[in-house]
A and B are shown apart, each in its own frame.
Chain A
């Protein structure tokens, strides 16, 4: 915490403007932002010229697999993957074994997270064992700083249970996050329902399953007033429903995942289980529609749905393999690609990757956040120093055997992507320097 760092000559991305400036970090905080700052002796120097300097990215959706499946990922290894990806904070999903549905396990993850290279927040389960039946102790978990609750992996299927959860959660000042898939419509399904699934003889998961649950939950928000965040929306229709509800003043937000705006269902034609994910990769026009929504600013956040699986558990027949793919290390580059690569507006880029998700997770300076520094803020003196130096011009080829996390199930192996984390400062400490984890 005591070290001083200067991020020199980058394009500093504020909420509404950018400026070429130096950023001086001292004792965990931004001490000064300005052109040609005088550098005190002993300061670590980061060359940020040609790079964007903005608030560290915040991931709302990281499956860290600990406790229960440490062969696939741990809190420590997931945090390293996040750091490489430019994230200063991640939200650990509760679908561990056992599920994070009680304060003891939440405290365990927070404690392990405090030793990790990035800030680790926790999403608690809405229901006990994520079974969708009995409410988990939302109040006790909220008292530990949990601000987001979800049964992710499962949607809460029973409308009465979801209504009860929202009614109970509303006074707690938290947000419920929903994995939107109506299970009766996705039963047995392994990929998007449509022309490709019909041809391949694979059972489908229809877009309708997602859109129906979005519709239902919007009406439950209208009824209860409790905020809901819609996880990994994969169809333009689902996003449009959220947009319409927001325009009516309802407290709803949504995220999209990189694989849903970079890959389509035809990836399943090789029956490679790497491409199996829930909600599934949709059709080409869905992908284009999600991208268009991102560019219009209709989406609140990009979230990775980083879902590591040990190779031996993922490398099965397509219908037998578990769903999910890696995301943390490449999400920012894929977001850049979706926003137009070299033409990308850095304000929108940081809105989607940092400021939007930080607001949803309540990780900003203005939020009550026990045990966390502030993320997604402005780059100005006095703010906690969670900063990323992102080079939007660098290109690299994804190699699944050179990843910081424990698993290799990236769907981007061999793909050339643009944009790279040059440096990352987490709570005033230089975690990534020259593109390498320290």
Chain B
């Protein structure tokens, strides 16, 4: 169990403690303010080098990480995979050691293969590795920004601050995650984060989109989606990953939408206070109705905005956390 990510890699949320998560969330709160300034930059990681290696297409996560690194004054080395030597057959190992030879402090890695960040962490043990999504395994910063966004909304409603509330707002919170759990790295990170903070987590999906064996998962599988929706405080809608071959695991997208989509009819079952999240990019009209996605209950834009302070916090803690830099210089 990792009790603090200071000076550590961030590969997964599966073995990260409640305190370690709260440390990231509280650090991110400080960076929210930076992002609201007219000059959105602090010198915290000045002189540090962050390599951004995205072996899989991504727009929002990549932009979010690189924005975060730049706002901390780090230098960013960005490997554009499409034009890189990877296309010439270079191995992951050689790509990493080559980038490492340029002198880097951290690597932000997105890879289509589960486990690639852990493999990379063994190749360059002196470099901090931050998982920006690996295959169907984990997407830790997405999990962190999801719980951060939910805590923020709940704290605003309770007239308190996220930092003051700690994990207390998650006690007794009913979280329902709906959709393609099986192929979702977001689901694996979300479930770990919510459970670590004390929430009750339920999942709803057609049998073919559930993992084959949920033993040891801190979740309950919901059989009646409508009942579960009525009792949910947070509904996490997952992207149906058509690009991962999910399409043939359900009879049709229409049928999936009919039984598991967050439609306008189904949203009427929700409590008025319920919060809807979605990691994006959305398949409007498939897992979430287009109008539902634009309702105030859906905090999708807030999730995107919060991606930057969360990733600033993660970069700061993992890179600077090992040295004696003391408090954040904001």
Among A195, A201, A206, A316, the one with the most B-chain Cβ atoms within 10 Å of its Cβ is A201
Q: How far is the CB of A351 from chain B (nearest CB, A)?
A: 36
Say yes or no: B135 contacts A201, CB within 8 Å.
Answer: yes
Task: Given A199-B14, A320-B113, answer yes or no on A271-B119 (Cβ-Cβ < 8 Å).
Answer: yes
Say yes or no: B212 contacts A318, CB within 8 Å.
Answer: no
Once bound together, how far apart are the Cα atoms of A197 and B216, in whole Å? Answer: 12
Say yes or no: A202 contacts B212, CB within 8 Å.
Answer: no
Say yes or no: A204 contacts B212, CB within 8 Å.
Answer: yes
Say yes or no: B212 contacts A319, CB within 8 Å.
Answer: no
Residues of B within 8 A of A206 (CB): 212
B interface secondary structure, majority: loop
Q: 0/1 per residue, A312-356, Cβ < 8 Å to B?
A: 100111111000000000000000000000000000000000000
Say if the beta carbon of B9 comes within 8 Å of chain A. no
**Least CB separation from A190: chain B residue:** B114
Say if the beta carbon of A200 comes within 8 Å of chain B. yes
Say yes or no: B136 contacts A317, CB within 8 Å.
Answer: no
Once bound together, how far apart are the Cα atoms of A198 and B211, in whole Å? Answer: 5
Residues of B within 8 A of A199 (CB): 14, 188, 211, 216-217
Say yes or no: A270 contacts B91, CB within 8 Å.
Answer: no
Say if the beta carbon of B213 comes within 8 Å of chain A. yes
Once bound together, how far apart are the Cα atoms of A200 and B119, in whole Å? Answer: 13
Say yes or no: A193 contacts B212, CB within 8 Å.
Answer: yes
Say yes or no: A195 contacts B115, CB within 8 Å.
Answer: no
Say if the beta carbon of A194 comes within 8 Å of chain B. yes
**Least CB separation from A193: chain B residue:** B212
Say yes or no: B188 contacts A201, CB within 8 Å.
Answer: yes
Q: 0/1 per residue, B192-232, Cβ < 8 Å to A?
A: 00000000000000000001111111000000000000000
Interface size on B, residues (CB 8 A): 28
Say yes or no: A317 contacts B116, CB within 8 Å.
Answer: yes
Residues of A within 8 A of B137 (CB): 200-202
Partner of A195, one of B91, B118, B138, B215: B215
Say yes or no: A315 contacts B91, CB within 8 Å.
Answer: yes
Say yes or no: A271 contacts B215, CB within 8 Å.
Answer: no
Taking CB atoms and an 8 Å cut-off, the chain B residues in 244-268 that contact chain A are 245
Residues of A within 8 A of B119 (CB): 271-272, 317-318
Once bound together, how far apart are the Cα atoms of A160 and B174, in whole Å? Answer: 54
Say yes or no: A319 contacts B214, CB within 8 Å.
Answer: no
**Least CB separation from B135: chain A residue:** A201
Q: How far is the CB of A235 from chain B (nearest CB, A)?
A: 16
Say if the beta carbon of B46 comes within 8 Å of chain A. no
Q: How far is the CB of A373 from chain B (nearest CB, A)?
A: 44
Partner of A319, one of B113, B211, B215: B113
Once bound together, how far apart are the Cα atoms of A206 and B213, in whole Å? Answer: 11
Task: Given A271-B116, A319-B113, answer yes or no on A195-B188 (Cβ-Cβ < 8 Å).
Answer: no
Task: Given A315-B91, A315-B93, A316-B92, answer yes or no on A198-B116 (Cβ-Cβ < 8 Å).
Answer: no
**Least CB separation from B210: chain A residue:** A198
Once bound together, how far apart are the Cα atoms of A206 and B136, in whole Å? Answer: 18
Say yes or no: A198 contacts B212, CB within 8 Å.
Answer: yes
Say yes or no: B135 contacts A198, CB within 8 Å.
Answer: no
Say yes or no: B211 contacts A318, CB within 8 Å.
Answer: no
Once bound together, how far apart are the Cα atoms of A365 and B216, in whole Å? Answer: 55
Residues of B within 8 A of A270 (CB): 115, 118
Say if the beta carbon of B185 comes within 8 Å of chain A. yes
Once bound together, how far apart are the Cα atoms of A271 and B136, in whole Å? Answer: 13
Once bound together, how far apart are the Cα atoms of A432 and B112, in whole Å? Answer: 47
Residues of A within 8 A of B214 (CB): 198
Say if the beta carbon of B70 comes within 8 Å of chain A. no
**Least CB separation from A203: chain B residue:** B136
Taking CB atoms and an 8 Å cut-off, the chain B residues in 104-128 that contact chain A are 111-116, 118-119
Once bound together, how far apart are the Cα atoms of A387 and B188, in whole Å? Answer: 55
Once bound together, how far apart are the Cα atoms of A204 and B136, in whole Å? Answer: 12
Say yes or no: B211 contacts A317, CB within 8 Å.
Answer: no
Q: 0/1 per residue, B125-165, Cβ < 8 Å to A?
A: 00000000011111000000000000000000000000000
Say yes or no: A271 contacts B115, CB within 8 Å.
Answer: yes
Say yes or no: B215 contacts A202, CB within 8 Å.
Answer: no
Residues of A within 8 A of B216 (CB): 195, 199
**Least CB separation from B214: chain A residue:** A198
Once bound together, how far apart are the Cα atoms of A148 and B270, in whole Å? Answer: 65
Residues of B within 8 A of A201 (CB): 114, 134-138, 183, 185, 188
A-B CB contact pairs (8 Å), 28 listed: A193-B213, A195-B213, A195-B215, A197-B213, A198-B213, A198-B214, A198-B217, A199-B14, A199-B211, A199-B217, A200-B115, A200-B137, A201-B134, A201-B138, A201-B183, A201-B188, A202-B136, A206-B212, A270-B118, A271-B118, A271-B119, A315-B91, A316-B91, A316-B92, A317-B112, A317-B116, A317-B119, A320-B113
Closest 7 CB pairs of A and B: A271-B115, A201-B136, A317-B113, A201-B137, A198-B211, A195-B213, A201-B114
Interface residues of B (CB under 8 A from A): 14, 91-93, 111-116, 118-119, 134-138, 183, 185, 188, 211-217, 245
Known pairs A316-B91, A317-B92, A320-B113 / 8 extra A-B pairs, C-beta < 8 Å: A197-B212, A198-B211, A199-B217, A203-B136, A271-B114, A316-B92, A317-B112, A319-B114
